[in-house]
Amino acid sequence: MTSVVAPGAPSIRSSRRHGGALLQFLRYVAVQVGQAAVALLGVTTAVFFALRLSGDPARLLASENATAVDIENLRRQLGLDQPVWRQYLDYLGGLLHGDLGFSYVQHQPVLTLIGQRMPYTINLAVAALVLTAVFGISVGFIMALSRGGWAERVLMPLVVVGQAMPVFWVGILLVLFFSVTLQLLPSTGSGGLISLVLPAITLASHSTATVARVTRGAVLEQLSRDYVRTARSKGVGTFRLVWRHLLRNVSIPIVTLLALEVANLLGGAVITELIFAWPGIGQLTEQSLTARDFPVVQGIVILSAAIYIAVNLLADIIYGVIDPRTTVSEKGATG
Amino acid sequence: VSWRTPMSVVAVATLAVLTGCSTGGAGPTGTGTTSLVADLGGYPATFDPGLQYDTDSYSVYRNIYDQLLHRDAKTNEVVPWLATEWKQTAPTTWTFAIRDNVKFSDGAPLTADDVAFSIRRILDPKFASQQNSNFSAIASVAAQGQTLTIKTKAPSPTLLSFLTTLSVVPKAYLEKVGNEAFNQKPIGSGPYAVASTIAGAEVVLKRNDSWWGKAPAIQTVTFRAVPEVASRIADLQSGKAQIATALTPDSAQQIKGNSSLQVLSTPTERVAYLAFNTINGGATNDPAVRKAISLGIDYQSLIDGLQNGYAKPVNSVLTPLATGYPKSLPNYTYKQAEAKALVQQSGKAGQTVVMATSPAFSSQIVQAIQANLQAIGLKVKIQNYDQAAYLKKVQSPDHSWGAVRFGQWSCSCLDADGVAYPLFHTGSIWSSYTNPKFDTLVEKARNTIDAAQRDQLYEQAYRILNTDLPGIGLFQIETIYGASSKLQWKPDAQQSFFVADMSLSS
């Protein structure tokens, strides 16, 4: 039985199975959380050992006049003279108690450092995600609905440019135009909403273009479906068509993409934060990686992995809400 | 991270192309005559002056604390600061008289005991201070009232020099709150005190009106962390900042055309150099090849073309600012034909030499050197590591890092000892060279107090270096600041960023 259920109609199957649904859902969540824990342990292990292969923080910390003995002393104080497996077990032990360690360079607990910077990165990522969703989806719809028309001809090159331009290039152009030439918006800094504008646009530029392109493709695919033709022949207007029918049917690929873009937004934040002197996690990552501040880098990577996993878990659950045909049991079974 | 370099180059180039049409209206709008915004390359790693002394931390915290000694900004002579006078009472004993009536910003008086404490904590291995090696000549410190006595392990000619970098912290407060809390909420006796901070973004300092010195003109200074040089330039152009540190020679060109901005630069004690692997470097084990390379470098082009003139020629791996600079030695010369002939004679023509580098060093300079060496008949393979991996490689005791490396050296001590010893003494972590005669000379110089005698020893030592050529000096690096033309300030060789010396005209 292939389900050709009209979009928006409640699924008969899922309502019939209502009693077992909660149990199924809980089992699904348990499996997902278990997988997430394994993934996190994998990430922790990989970043821990990879960092230790990449260079010696004691050498970077030591002054230029330092002797081998000075460096050895620094290493001992940082605990880097211990066998790696021992350092690893100690670190895992700390993690279990919620202790992410102490920064070699900044002499503060890692959790404090991340806590200070996290709000900035979240603000920036959320602002960029909102811009991406609003502009990406609407531009995608406009391009699809005006296929071959002037709107598409204007927007398409912009989308291509948005995808092709590196983030730092977009950022520097925006600064030159809005800050240096027009003197409208601050060139760098993090004081208030006004200083969020340029970084958010910069960060969103690439994702917006990607979402627009995918939305356009998805809408075009739907437009050729029978139900659209039927709706149109019944005299349903474009607005109602989009709102009542198309939006829901194209939302699965878009939600998937947006969830993936969260990772890109967090990753792209490194460059954006550097250009705009935005004191978020991205800047902290760059500083700490350059200085081989192992505990900070580990903390950031583990936390980012946790966020990424959580967002994708959330996306999985949203599928079920958007489209009841995608019941959790099916998702749980298929992956 | 390796993408930073190309990214900065493109960003600066973009600014160069696009600001041509925008300089007219752009200019600092000014935030009043008594507050200053300064863009640094990064947020200070710590406010505890016993720990880090990277340029960004140093630029901020040296305004919060007083140092035991200072250097005169013009002559570089060591001059009184917290210590009003000092005497060497025995070859290894020094006494310092500490200024009366100096108070920390919490009201506690500053005594010799605070100075002794500040030194002892740096020397404590458990504190793991990055500056430990700068003060490791010190055997013991004692305080009595306002008198400080320092005993060194051996006669130490560089002691005073390093004491100009010693910022004094309040013992009582620190013992009460501990290192971690002190780093969060630092208290000093200097001309400014911390008013507020936003982690990773900015530090606001307010003038300390009970400071003992002449009241500074600037009341409030905001240090901002702006990692990208192109963004720092944009901040100057849009008037968001009145001074920006660590500009590159390229970026300095851009503010030159802007009448409301100025470039401030000064030669520093940082020397750009090439070091050779004379032990395990392949072709560079041969002194003739090293000689050929020293003749094959187009020194003046590096200075004019790549540093845009923000550099000065040198005659050794040292700068003329340092004690012990061998004035009598001739500058290096560029003689390409002679260099080529030497490579031919040595039988090393066409051999590959590996050049180790990291993104910390200008890739343009590294490539220019590569081109110079290839022009005299060597093949050059550039091996790019990131800084951590580079250090691991270069400092590994098996000398397997390659044949040639470009570097930039500053000991923050204005003394030949801080350059010749760590770079070339047998067994130093940076050294891939050995010569017992050279070793004896620099060992003797490091324990000689008499200035004239030291000059003589270093002249002999550097003469050996310029014969053996385990390294060559390329140029003396200038530090470059961009500033509003309203700012009055003269940068000094130590890259001190003393806001108390700055003023803004309206």
Instruction: Tell me the percentage of chain B whose pLDDT exceeds 90.
Output: 85
Q: What's the one-letter identity of residue A50?
A: A
Rounded average pLDDT over A189-201: 91
Q: How close, in Å, is residue B26 to chain A by CA atoms?
A: 6
Please indicate whether, in this complex, the C-beta atoms of B234 and A180 are within 8 angstroms of each other: yes
Distance from CA of A303 to the nearest CA of B (A): 19
The chain-wide mean pLDDT, for chain A, equals 85
Q: What percent of chain A has pLDDT over 70?
A: 90
Residues B134, B123: Cα–Cα separation, whole Å: 9
Q: Residue range B448-458: average pLDDT?
A: 96
Residues 302-331 of A with CB under 8 A from B: none
Any idea of the CA torsion for A22, A27, A32, A37, to the nearest 10 degrees? 130
Beta partners for B69? Answer: B80
Q: Please say whether the beta carbons of B355 and B499 come within 8 A.
A: no
Calculate Rg over the CA atoms of chain A: 25
Closest Cβ–Cβ partner in B128, B136, B388 for A60? B388
Q: Who's near A107: CB < 8 A, 6+ residues apart?
A: B46, B48, B51, B179, B180, B183
Question: Does the beta-carbon distance from B387 to A55 stay under 8 Å?
Answer: yes
Query: Could you tell me if A157 lies within 8 Å of chain B, comparing CB atoms?
Result: no
| pLDDT given for residue A326 in this prediction | 61
Among A56, A65, A176, select the one facing B133 at the smallest CB separation. A65
Q: How many CB pairs under 8 A join A and B?
A: 189
- Any A CB within 8 A of B387 CB: yes
CA A136 – CA A215 distance, rounded (Å): 8
In angstroms, the CA A62 to CA B428 distance is 14
Show residues of chain B in contact with A267, CB under 8 Å.
none
What CA–CA distance (Å, rounded) separates A193 from A191? 7
CB-CB under 8 Å, A105 with B134: no
Residue B130 contacts A where some CB pair is shorter than 8 Å: yes
Long-range contact pairs involving B349-352 (C-beta distance under 8 Å, separation at least 24): B349/B377, B349/B378, B350/B377, B350/B378, B350/B379, B351/B282, B351/B283, B351/B378, B351/B379, B352/B282, B352/B283, B352/B378, B352/B379, B352/B380, B352/B381
- The pLDDT assigned to B28 comes to 40
Give the pLDDT band of residue B4 (cuts 50, 70, 90): low
Look up residue B155 and give its amino acid.
Answer: P
Taking the Cβ of residue B388 and every Cβ of chain A, the question of whether any pair is shorter than 8 Å is answered with yes
Say yes or no to pLDDT of A15 above 60.
no
What tens digit of pLDDT does each residue of B405-422 get? 999 999 889 999 999 999
State which residue of chain B sits closest to A74, comparing Cα positions.
Answer: B128
Stated as kind and residue range, the H or E segment containing B223 is: strand B220-225
% of chain A surpassing 90 pLDDT: 46
* Closest CB from B199, B234, B395 relative to A59: B395
Looking at per-residue pLDDT, the higher value among B241 and A65 belongs to B241
- A279: chain B residues, CB-CB within 8 Å: 43, 198-201, 225
- Contact flag A188-B240 (C-beta cutoff 8 Å): yes
A65, A169, A186: residue with CB nearest B422: A65
Identify the helix (H) or strand (E) that includes residue B45.
Answer: none
- Residue A237 pLDDT grade (very low, low, confident, very high; cuts 50, 70, 90): confident
Q: B12 contacts in A (CB within 8 Å)?
A: none
More confident: B107 or A332: B107
Chain B CB contacts of A180 below 8 Å:
19, 22, 26, 234, 237-238
The string of pLDDT tens digits covering residues B43-86 is 999 999 998 778 899 999 999 999 999 999 889 999 999 999 99
| pLDDT tens readout for residues A307-324 | 888 887 788 777 777 776
pLDDT in the model for residue A10: 43
pLDDT of residue A53: 86
Which pLDDT value is given to residue B20? 45
Cβ within 8 Å, pair B391-A286? no
Tell me, what's the pLDDT at B29?
Answer: 41
The tokens describing A16, both together, are 């019939």
A73, A108, A275: residue with CB nearest B228: A275
**B134 at the A interface (CB within 8 A)?**
yes
The answer to whether B18 faces chain A, any CB pair under 8 Å, is yes
**Minimal Cβ distance to A62: which of B130, B201, B235:** B130
Which tokens in the block code for residue A254?
């878009």
Do the chains contact at B200 and A181, CB–CB below 8 Å? no
Confirm or reject contact between B239 and chain A (CB < 8 A).
Answer: yes
The angle subtended at Cα A313 by Cα A310 and Cα A318, nearest 5°, is 125
**Are A65 and B126 within 8 A, CB to CB?**
no
pLDDT tier at A278 (50, 70, 90 boundaries)?
Answer: very high
CB contact under 8 A, B230 and A180: no
Instruction: Establish if B125 touches chain A: CB-CB under 8 angstroms.
Output: yes
Which residues of A, range 261-290, sit inside 8 Å of B by Cβ? 271, 274-280, 283-284, 286-287, 289-290
Chain A residues in contact with B409 by the CB 8 A cut-off are 64
Nearest CB neighbour to A289, from listed B1, B15, B410: B1
In 3-state terms, chain A is what percent helix, strand and coil (to 5)?
75, 0, 20
Of residues B334, B311, B308, the one with CA closest to residue B477: B311
Q: Is some CB atom of chain B closer than 8 A to the CB atom of A28?
A: no
What is the overall mean pLDDT for chain B?
92
Contact A277 B1 (CB under 8 A): no
Q: Which residues of B touch A291 (CB under 8 A)?
A: 45
Q: Tens of pLDDT along B473-501?
A: 999 999 999 999 999 999 998 888 999 99
Are B239 and A168 within 8 A, CB to CB?
no
In percent, the amount of chain B with pLDDT more than 70 equals: 93
Q: Which of residues 110-129 of A touch B (CB under 8 A)?
A: 113, 116-117, 120
Averaged over B291-307, what is the pLDDT?
A: 96
Residue B33 confidence class, pLDDT cut points 50, 70, 90: low
Task: Spell out which residues of chain B touch residue A194, defining contact as CB-CB under 8 Å.
Answer: none
Q: How far apart are CA A106 and CA A296, in angstroms?
A: 10
Mutate which of A165, A188, A296 to disrupt the B interface (most B C-beta within 10 Å)?
A188
Q: Mean per-residue pLDDT for A4-32?
A: 61
Chain A residues with CB inside 8 Å of B184's CB?
108
A65 three-class SS: coil
Residue B308 Cα to chain centre, angstroms: 20
Test B52 with A105 for CB contact under 8 angstroms: yes
Whether B415 and chain A come into contact, CB under 8 Å, resolves to: no
Kindly list the residues from chain A whose CB atom is less than 8 angstroms away from the CB atom of residue B399.
none
Q: A190 vs chain B: nearest CA distance in angstroms?
A: 8
Q: Which chain A positions have a beta carbon within 8 Å of B240's beta carbon?
A: 179, 186-189
In chain A, which residue's Cα lies nearest the Cα of B24?
A181
The pLDDT score that the predictor gives to residue B470 is 97
Q: Tens digits of per-residue pLDDT, A140-151?
A: 999 998 888 898
Residue A231 has pLDDT above 90, yes or no: no
Q: Is the pLDDT of residue A137 over 80?
A: yes
Test A59 with B392 for CB contact under 8 angstroms: yes
> Does residue A3 surpass a pLDDT of 80?
no
A169 touching B, CB under 8 A? Answer: yes
Check CB contact under 8 Å for B45 and A179.
no
A304 compared with A12, residue with greater pLDDT:
A304
Q: Find where tokens 């004993």 sit.
A: B93
What's the pLDDT tens digit per position in B144-171?
999 999 999 999 999 999 999 999 999 9
- Nearest-angstrom CA–CA distance, B356 and B350: 19
